[in-house]
Amino acid sequence: MKENAKAAEGFNLIELLVVIAILAVLGALLLPAVSRAKGRALQIQCVNNVRQLGLALQGFVADNNAYPLRGNPDYYSGGYPEHRQNWMVALESTELSIPGNSTSRVSFKTWAGEGVWKCPAAGKPSNWPTNNLYVSYGYNWCGLSLESDTESLGLGGHYMGNPSRVTAPPVSQPEVACPSEMMAIGDGLAGGNGKVRDGVRVLWRTREPKDFLDSTARAYARHLGRLSVVFCDGHVESPPLKRLFEDTNEGALARWNRDHLPHRERL
């Protein structure tokens, strides 16, 4: 009877505080693991998006023996009609074979849906200017380059698109020296020298990046310091941002350029 009466009294204050402290410690230990698990899940979804964009790119190249132009200012006057207005529209318009039915084809936009263009871990910041687009994915149209360069080392055309020169002609398929080592499409980031700009339509390494509204911190937080990228041969990797935007070894630099050379002179 006495034992039952004591049990009915419940916890005293010290015991209650001990229980609360234990729960707080357990919560602190579990929170990083839960955060990492959520981040990993979002990264997997992003990798799937990038893989599908890679399928569209391969379909375009197979049909045209060339990579889509970054932009096509001559489209409305009949120039390079298959490249549409820009690389994103060109990929959306690319027709892919329906799985299980080799005789039927459907546009990539219809097949994949618009959600394929949105990274789930890259929401537009609340303080982002209303007149600025925020884009999840970028195209390696420039390669390793500066804004002042006129010739492109990337996939989006032979020229950088300066006012004096358009991006055309397009890069032909044989011009990519090593497709398995040439980055094509990934998280839309432009970086170098410790700074990264996000929300852009380009995947770009340059020594002239700008941090915009804490974009560097957002970029490194997006996928736990990694980036989702599909290569010209269709395989997908998640390399660290530091390797992409800070490493100066030959292998890291060559992956930006269609001739598979490091081009250190542009650092």
Q: pLDDT tens digit string along 164-190?
A: 567 899 999 999 999 999 999 999 999
- Evaluate if residue 50 carries a pLDDT over 70: yes
Mean pLDDT of the chain: 88
What was the pLDDT predicted at 208?
Answer: 83
The percent of residues above 90 in pLDDT, for the chain, comes to: 68
Instruction: Band the pLDDT of 209: cuts 50, 70, 90.
Output: confident
Q: What is the pLDDT of residues 52-84, one digit of tens each?
A: 999 999 999 999 999 999 999 889 999 999 999
36: pLDDT strictly greater than 60: no
Taking the model in full, what pTM does it have?
A: 0.85
Are 203 and 237 in contact by the 8 Å Cβ rule? The answer is no
> Burial, 163: exposed, middle or buried (Cβ in 10 Å; 0-12, 13-18, 19+)?
exposed
Read off the pLDDT band of 119 (50, 70, 90): very high
Which residue has better confidence, 224 or 99?
224
pLDDT exceeds cutoff 50 at 154: yes
* CA gap 136, 185 in Å, rounded: 11
The better pLDDT of the pair 7, 88 is held by 88
Minimal CA–CA distance to 191: which of 235, 199, 37? 199
Q: Three-state secondary structure along the chain?
A: CHHHHHHHCCCCHHHHHHHHHHHHHHHHHHHHHHHHHHHHHHHHHHHHHHHHHHHHHHHHHHHHCECCCCECCCHHHCCCHHHCCEHHHHHHHCEEEECCEEEEEEEHHHHHCHHHHCCCCCCCCCCCCCCCCCCCEEECCCCECCCCCCECCCCCCCECCCCCCCCCCCCEHHHCCCHHHCEEEEECEEEECCEEEECCCECEECCCCCCCCCHHHHHHHHCCCECCEEECCCCEECCEHHHHHCCCCHHHHHCCCCCCCCCHHHC
Residue 8 has pLDDT above 50, yes or no: no
| CA atoms of 258 and 267, how far apart (whole Å) | 16
Looking at the chain, the whole-number percentage of residues with pLDDT higher than 70 is 82
Contact yes or no for 226/240 (Cβ under 8 A): yes
